[in-house]
Amino acid sequence: MRRVLTALLLCAAARAATTTLTVTATGPLSGATYTTTGTAVLSGGIAANGTFSATISLTSTTGGGANYLVPFTITISGSTLTGTLTMPSGWVNGNTGTGSATFTANFTGSYSGDTGLFPSLTGSLSIGALGVTLSFSGSGTISSAGTVPPPAPTITAVLDAASNSPNLAQGTIFIVKGTNLCPGATLTAFSAPSRPTISPDGVQITFTPAAGGGGVNALIWYEDPLGGGVCQLAGILPSTAPTGTYNVTVTNGTVSTPVQTQVMAHKFNLFTQDSTGSGLAVVQNVVSATEYDINRLTTGIINGVTISPAYGGQYMVAYGTGMGGVVGLDNTASPDYNFLANGVTVNVIVGGMTVPALYAGRAGYAGEDQVNFQLPGNAPTGCAVSLQISVNGALSAPTTIAIAPNATAGACALPGDTTAQLNALV
């Protein structure tokens, strides 16, 4: 169900800021140079207080039309913004009492963790014994001048977690593939009943109706970053999401470009043992009340788990996702719901033979469904007998199971292969 992919380890890059300052001076301004200090307050993305200092020269050396350059430094939280304020000399020289003007300043410098917009920059300073007070305010944005901001998340696919195909059922387990989808360096998984709609590191998967309206946030199952820029997310689409067309986005610092998907009432598919969506399905053979073997080509034990092929007449349990929505059970520890008892028709097609499901519903895990059935006594045998599930007439993607000639056979029959060779394939 979870494939091994690579992911990029994202580093928060330092960013520069630009702003426009409004400067108001009160008091006599004369031809002199002053060093000033004061306070600065930035709110919004930076949201911090610091110290403002500037060297102001009121002596023009190039005539009345010259600009005065006012270098300044703002230090906040151990980081520094520096810039130069350009003051028209005509305003300075002509002002002997009170006046105001707007000047533009470019900030350079960096912060760790600064994001978004800062709506205001306010502060004030005094110019020595002259009694001149200089105040400033303005708004600005954090830009990438000279540095590279973290890359935006990009979605390459939204797929159901069983068949790896587009479009999802209500209440299904799904995966999102792409780049820069998650900020961490290791696999992070969340268990019911505490799966979040926004992960602790800020990742969010949102389904927004294409026709308009509020978005639906998925329950996050895991974040899987393994280097190389690739990350895979898994989630559960809430059962309450109405059917229809949705735009799917991932938020990881910034919001990705949306990818469209369809949400339907039912789209069941079986999990497969190699997670590709084809080949041997994840199916258990009921050997006894205490032994459920994983359906494989031969009989034995792998990593402490018993395996065997099935045989005609045996009871079996198949696992998948997408049976449909179940209100109130998407984030519970042990959901129990039988679709057969609620108007859904489920049949099992084995080697072209159709048998009714004995149970079709949640497998005791959020988003995961199981289908219980009994193999026909005359079911075809082989190592790759076709298996599909029909839910209200819609067929799951083709998978296979192994069926031995009888209950005592130690392996399925594959022409040209011995049991030892089949063991090598397990």
In this model, does residue 399 exceed pLDDT 90?
yes
- Number of structural domains found in the chain: 3
pLDDT per residue over 239-289, tens digit each?
999 999 999 999 988 899 999 999 999 999 999 999 999 999 999 999 999
Q: Are residues 404 and 283 in the same domain?
A: yes
Q: Is residue 1 part of a domain?
A: no
Residues of the chain with pLDDT > 90, as a percent, come to 51
Lowest-confidence pick of 46-60, 169-183, 212-226, 278-292: 46-60
pLDDT for res 88: 53
Q: Is residue 77 part of a domain?
A: yes
Q: What is the mean pLDDT of residues 322-350?
A: 93
- The enclosing H or E element of 172 equals none
pLDDT per residue over 94-109, tens digit each?
444 344 444 444 444 5
Amino acid at 276: T
Q: What is the CATH number of the domain that holds 207?
A: 2.70.50.70
Domain range enclosing 196: 154-264
pLDDT for res 41: 56
pLDDT for res 118: 47
Q: Report which listed range, 22-31, 331-340, 381-390, is most confident.
A: 381-390
pLDDT for res 62: 41
Q: Is residue 8 part of a domain?
A: no
Instruction: Give how far the C-alpha of residue 332 lies from the chain's centroid of Cα atoms, to the nearest Å.
Output: 21
Q: Which of 242, 264, 286 is the last residue of a domain?
A: 264
Residue 59: name the closest of 22, 34, 85 by CA.
34
Q: Is residue 253 part of a domain?
A: yes
Q: What is the mean pLDDT of residues 325-339?
A: 90
Q: Is residue 199 part of a domain?
A: yes
In this model, does residue 180 exceed pLDDT 60?
yes
Q: Are residues 259 and 188 in the same domain?
A: yes
Q: Are residues 189 and 95 in the same domain?
A: no
Residue 366: both structure tokens together: 């959020």
In this model, does residue 141 exceed pLDDT 60?
no
Q: Is 290 exposed, middle or buried (0-12, 13-18, 19+ CB in 10 A)?
A: exposed
Q: Are residues 304 and 390 in the same domain?
A: yes
pLDDT classification of 301: cutoffs 50, 70, 90? very high
Q: Which of 143, 175, 197 is the last residue of a domain?
A: 143
Q: Are residues 327 and 207 in the same domain?
A: no
d(CA 222, CA 203): 10
In this model, does residue 310 exceed pLDDT 60?
yes
Q: What is the mean pLDDT of residues 160-168?
A: 96
Q: Is residue 335 part of a domain?
A: yes
Q: Which carries the bigger pLDDT value, residue 8 or residue 51?
A: 51
pLDDT classification of 207: cutoffs 50, 70, 90? very high
Residue 418: both structure tokens together: 């011995």
Q: Which of 109, 143, 177 is the last residue of a domain?
A: 143
Q: Is residue 6 part of a domain?
A: no
Q: Are residues 252 and 288 in the same domain?
A: no
Q: What angle do CA 101, 102, 104 make, to 5 degrees?
A: 145
d(CA 23, CA 19): 12
Q: Are residues 421 and 273 in the same domain?
A: yes
pLDDT classification of 185: cutoffs 50, 70, 90? confident
pLDDT, the chain, mean: 77
Q: Are residues 31 and 96 in the same domain?
A: yes
In this model, does residue 56 exceed pLDDT 80?
no
pLDDT for res 98: 41
Q: Which carries the bigger pLDDT value, residue 325 or residue 416?
A: 325
Q: Is residue 9 part of a domain?
A: no
Q: Are residues 124 and 163 in the same domain?
A: no
Q: What is the mean pLDDT of residues 224-252?
A: 92
Q: Report which listed range, 15-29, 67-81, 134-148, is most confident.
A: 67-81
Q: Which carries the bigger pLDDT value, residue 13 or residue 267?
A: 267
Q: What angle do CA 235, 240, 242 make, to 5 degrees?
A: 100
pLDDT per residue over 142-154, tens digit each?
443 334 445 789 9
Q: Are residues 139 and 201 in the same domain?
A: no
Q: Are residues 111 and 204 in the same domain?
A: no
Q: Are residues 135 and 82 in the same domain?
A: yes
